[in-house]
Structure 1
Amino acid sequence: MSRAALLVLADGRFPAGGHAHSGGAEAAVEQGRVRDAGDLAAFCRGRLHTTGLTAAALAAAAAHGHDPLALDEAADARTPSPALRAVARRLGRQLMRAARATWPGPELDALAAARPRGAHQPVVLGLTARSAGLAPLDAAYAAAYESVGGPATAVVRLLSLDPFEATAVLARLAPEIDRIAERAAAAAHGTVDGLPAASAPLLDITAEAHAARRGRLFAS
Structure 2
Amino acid sequence: MRAFTQLLLLADGRFPSGGHAHSSGLEAAVARGRVRDLGGLRAFLRGRLRTGGLVAAAFAAAACARPEAIEELDEELDARTPSPALRLAARRQGRSLCRAAQVVWPGEHVTRAARARVCQPIALGVAAGAAGLTPDEAALLAAYHAISGPASAAVRLLGLDPYHVHALLAELGDECDEVAREAATHARGPAADLPAASAPLLDVSAEDHAAWEVRLFAS
TM-score normalised by length of structure 1: 0.97
Superposition CA RMSD, Å? 0.9
Partners of 1:111 and 1:47 in 2: CA distance: 25
Q: Which residue is equivalent to 1:94? A: 96
Taking every aligned residue pair, what percent have the same amino acid on both sides?
58
Amino acid paired to 2:42: A
Tell me, yes or no, if the aligned pair for 2:61 and 2:184 is still in contact at 8 Å: yes
Q: Does 1:62 align with 2:63?
A: yes
TM-score normalised by length of structure 2: 0.97
Tell me, yes or no, if the aligned pair for 2:66 and 2:188 is still in contact at 8 Å: no
SS of aligned partner of 1:2: helix
SS of aligned partner of 2:185: helix
**What is the CA distance between 1:111 and its match in structure 2?**
2.4
Matches within 5 A, 1:38-53: 38-53=39-54
**What is the CA distance between 1:102 and its match in structure 2?**
0.5
Stretches of structure 1 lacking an aligned partner (at least 5 in a row): none
Partners of 1:178 and 1:110 in 2: CA distance: 29
Q: Which residue is equivalent to 1:157? A: 156
Partners of 2:176 and 2:137 in 1: CA distance: 12
Deviates more, 1:4-13 or 1:103-112: 103-112
Partners of 1:127 and 1:135 in 2: CA distance: 10
Q: Runs ≥4 in structure 1, deviation > 3 angstroms?
A: none
Report how many aligned residue pairs link the two structures.
Answer: 217
**What is the CA distance between 1:112 and its match in structure 2?**
2.0
Stretches of structure 2 lacking an aligned partner (at least 5 in a row): none
1:165-213 Cα distance to aligned partner (Å, 9 max, x none):
1111111111110110001111112111111011100000010010010
1:98-157 Cα distance to aligned partner (Å, 9 max, x none):
0111001111112222x2xx2110000000000001000110011000000001000100
Partners of 1:194 and 1:12 in 2: CA distance: 31
Partners of 1:122 and 1:41 in 2: CA distance: 23
Matches within 5 A, 1:136-215: 136-215=135-214
Partners of 2:123 and 2:165 in 1: CA distance: 27
1:15-45 Cα distance to aligned partner (Å, 9 max, x none):
0000000000000100111111111000000
Partners of 1:36 and 1:124 in 2: CA distance: 33
Amino acid paired to 2:113: L
Matches within 5 A, 1:14-33: 14-33=15-34
SS of aligned partner of 1:193: helix
**What is the CA distance between 1:61 and its match in structure 2?**
0.2
Amino acid paired to 1:164: Y
1:44-69 Cα distance to aligned partner (Å, 9 max, x none):
00000000000000000001115000
